[in-house]
Each structure stands twice: as C-alpha cells, then as structure tokens.
A = this chain, B = another copy of it.
C-alpha cells in the first residue's frame, strides 16, 4: 500500500437497512466492480408494484469505469435486478456455474442473453478487473454453488461474504473455504462485509441434513402420497427429497413452474443426482399407487397462484390431495406471509391430509449463519474494518456488536445506509459523501413510472373506492346540459345504496346550480365546489372518504 491520492470507496446501493435488492459497488480511481444486482419484493403499501430494484443512477453515470458484475449466488435478491442493470450497463457477469445457469433463463426472457458475456468462475480463479483482483471462495447457503469474494484492492483485501452459513456437513459435501479465509485473515484483511440476516439469533444454524432426517422419518411413516413444498432454489433440500424417494421406493413428480425450471437446470448442470426412472410426469400421479408417489411442489409461502395452494383448494389441473396424504411444508414463513401459509395448512387439514410444518416439527433450517457462525467468520478473517450488510438496521447494529465482541474496534464498524460511501485511504477509513441511490418501483413494463403520488392514489382508491361526477355544460351559456351523473366503484353496493346515491346527486346538482347562478365559471372552482359538497355529505353519511373525481365537459 503506497501513499497516494486515490482511495477505495465501498458503496452499498441496496441490501443495508433492508432485506433485499443487494448491490455493492467497489470504486478505486477509474475502476468499479459491482457485487450482486438483486431485487426486493414490494412492501404492503406499494400497491400494484411487482418488484423493487436499486436506483443505479450512480453506476450509469460512471458506466465506463465498470469492469465487471460479480454475482455471489442465484437467489432473486442477488440476481433479480440484473436484467435492469444490463439494459443500461453492458459488462461481463462473473458467477459460478449454477448461478450463471439460473441467470441465463432470466436474460433470455429479457433478450439480453446474446449480448451479455457470462464468465464461469470457481474458487481457483483470480479475476483481474481493473485494479481489482477478485477471488471467489465457497460458502454454504440454501442454494448450491454460493460464493463470497475476496477483493484485492490497492488499499488491501476486502472480504465480501455474500449470504452464508457454515454447514459442517453440507448435503453436497462442498465445504466452505475455511482455509482460504484463514489465510487471508492471517495475511491481514482491510475490511469485512458480512451477512447480517441472523445476527439476532443466538447459537448455530442447524445443518441442512437435519431437514433430511425429518424428511426420512416422514417418508418412513407415510402410508399414502407425500406432497412436499419448499423453495424451488433449495436444491440441497430437493436432493434430499429425491434421495429419500429412491430409498423408500417412491417416484417423484414435480409441479410448479419455478420448481420444474430449477430442477431441469440443476439436473442438466449436474447439481442434482436423480436415479433413472425416479422422475415421473405429473400426469402419471393418478396412475400409480399412492404409496409410490412424491409430489415436489412450489407454494411453501402460501403464494396465491402456486401449485400447493391450488392443490389445497382442489383447483390444480393434475394433482389432487386426498385424505390420508402427507403434506410437508418445508419452509418457514418470510415475514408477511404467515397468514397465507396458515390458510394453506388449514385447507390441507380440512381435506384430511396429515400436515407437517415448521411450527410443529423441524422441516426447515435457515440458509444464514447465526451469531456463533458470524463470530467464526469474524475470527477467521480478523478484519480491521467491519461493514455489516444484508440486513435491516437492527440486524446490522447487532452484527456490529458481535464484531466488537470478537475484537474489531468500535470506531472501525460502519453501519451504513444505501448510497453511503465508506472511503479507505492509506489504510484508514472514513464516511464519505452520499451518492445518488434509492428505490425504483417496477409495475408491469414500467420501470420507475410509479411513484409516491400514484401509490397514494392507489391507497386511497383501495380504502373507499372512487366516485366520478360528470357534468356537461354549455360553453356559450354556462348552463347544465347533461348530468350530473355519479358513477361509483369500490364505494358501496350500488343496488343497496340507491337512496344515498340519489341524495348525493341532488346535493351535487344543487351545488352546481347555485354556482352556475352565481356565475362561477372557472372549472377548478366548480370542481372544488362539487368535491367539497359531496365529500362532506358522504363522510357524514358513511364515515368514508372515497376519492371524488369531478369531470366537466363543455360543448
């Protein structure tokens, strides 16, 4: 590290102060690399929004400096924003084989596959990208082929863990690269950016094999069909289902689009070992005896249109769940989904199925390390500076406390917001100025064309509906030619509220006539008059505040 005027900036553009849309930029002089390009699912109040991605204005402004996009793993909160990024910034994308396999499908959908350079990496690679040298290292997580990155910069080594746990007995036997981490740690690490998801959770996260034991027990006891729902990307768990199916002489049918896709990609790339003849078509489920069937399904979050939800409601085209079947929901609810999963469980019980779920038995383990694993990472890496990432504020804070407990100086821990720059120069770090950053809402094909005003209107519309008041005036004389007509949607049952709406009409008519007689002829005044009179009346009568949209036509 020679003294100079250049500095290293680490800029999280997503994933801090929130769970989701992970993206971090590493900047040094004229070189930038980006780690991950995730999406986030909308909050409840973002009505009608499909997905949320980071604002990449800063990267677009500096697009000529960007030397590469490095992806840690194939979860949506790390790759889901990639197409939107690549539409603006065409740089090589580095990732492991499975990760790129999952990205390919996504880029194909967006017509970006042919124009994007995808470069497969392993933990043997040292990728030069401008001044940076990036070395992937293997981690354990709830999707195979996950890596973190060691980023060699002119200021020193930065370790970016990506999502991780330490699974000492991983299903695919691919251990985490403890030795590489230890070696970097011994050499000296400038900064660690580490996954904070489970920083509030004491102890160790269990090995994925624990779920395998529950799966085995359940398969041993089940007398009829087994339906197992889990995350489509948790191929370790899916592997354990196939292994159990083979052991207990069952065939596996796969339902749900993302489950089918992921299993196809994983089998093709060799990430899933399936014995010949084990996989059957869903059409065959009804032709085989129930004790020979496993159905692997999406819907472990109770998603409305998922295969499991449709099976539970008896609206799935191919697979029906019957009394005596065993349903395993191998997941824990993502915050916000609790009610949907509960409903699915209830429907399954009503059918007469035997339901195995997280609240009553161990059918899920987290993919993120708990406090002891986070401390192990800190002990291996021994960073001088620490930036907790991948977590809401309280998780980052808790993680910083853990770091201090393992010996990092309190003042060397940076709890940051998106857009913050942590700047390293001559071995010392400080907070820099903010770069443009934020949240971009995607609704259908629209990227960023829905914002606060639109969302506020949707919220208003969703609560009490809308009343449209239309009236046609004579341009020449200012008299009412037609109307006022009142049309409502989402307000009241029109048929049962005729009296209310008739009265509303009388009030609008009277207001209009009065204003016309008084020669009020500015449209805005007329509209305000209508809105005020109607709004007051409706609130008195119903205690509701529907949106009121007065429209004046002139002929």
B-contacting residues of A (Cβ < 8 Å)? 17, 43-44, 47-48, 200, 335-336, 338-339, 342, 345-346, 349-350, 355, 359-360, 392-394, 397-398, 443-446, 449-451, 453-455, 457-466, 468, 470, 472, 481-483, 485, 487, 489-493, 496-497, 541-544, 547, 549, 551, 553-555
Contact = CB atoms under 8 A, between A and B. Distances in A.
A460 B462 CA distance: 8
B449 A493 contact: yes
30 contacts: A17-B346, A43-B339, A44-B44, A47-B463, A48-B462, A48-B463, A200-B360, A335-B339, A336-B339, A346-B394, A349-B397, A355-B394, A444-B464, A444-B542, A445-B541, A445-B543, A449-B493, A449-B497, A450-B492, A453-B493, A457-B490, A461-B461, A461-B465, A461-B489, A470-B470, A472-B555, A481-B555, A482-B554, A551-B551, A553-B553
- Interface SS, A side: mixed
Given A454-B493, A553-B553, A544 B462 contact: no
A229 to B, nearest CB: 16
A466 B483 CA distance: 21
Leading 8 A-B pairs by shortest Cβ distance: A444-B543, A462-B462, A457-B490, A461-B461, A48-B463, A458-B490, A346-B393, A481-B555
A497 B448 CA distance: 11
A60 B470 CA distance: 41
Nearest to A462: B462
A483 B553 CA distance: 8
B450 A458 contact: no
Contacts of A487: 549, 551
A256 to B, nearest CB: 22
A394 B327 CA distance: 13
Given A481-B555, A493-B451, A542-B445, A462 B464 contact: no
A554 to B, nearest CB: 6
Contact of A462 (B47, B393, B491, B549): B47
A462 B44 CA distance: 11
Given A342-B394, A346-B392, A462-B458, A468 B551 contact: yes
A223 to B, nearest CB: 18
Contacts of A497: 449
Given A339-B335, A482-B555, A454 B449 contact: no
B464 A443 contact: yes
B44 A339 contact: yes
Report which residue of A394, A470, A485 has the largest number of chain B beta carbons within 10 angstroms of its beta carbon: A394
Given A394-B355, A444-B542, A453-B493, A551 B462 contact: no
A491 B549 CA distance: 15
B485 A553 contact: yes
A444 B544 contact: yes
Contacts of A554: 482
A340 to B, nearest CB: 9
A170 B477 CA distance: 79
Nearest to A345: B394
Contacts of A350: 393
Contact of A555 (B335, B449, B555): B555
A459 B490 CA distance: 8
Contacts of A48: 462-465, 490, 544
Contacts of A360: 200, 398
A463 to B, nearest CB: 4
A336 B350 CA distance: 23
A364 B82 CA distance: 42
A338 B339 contact: no
Contacts of A397: 349
B458 A553 contact: no
Contacts of A450: 492-493
Given A394-B355, A458-B461, A472-B555, A342 B335 contact: yes
Nearest to A455: B490
Nearest to A443: B544
A460 B555 CA distance: 33
A251 to B, nearest CB: 29
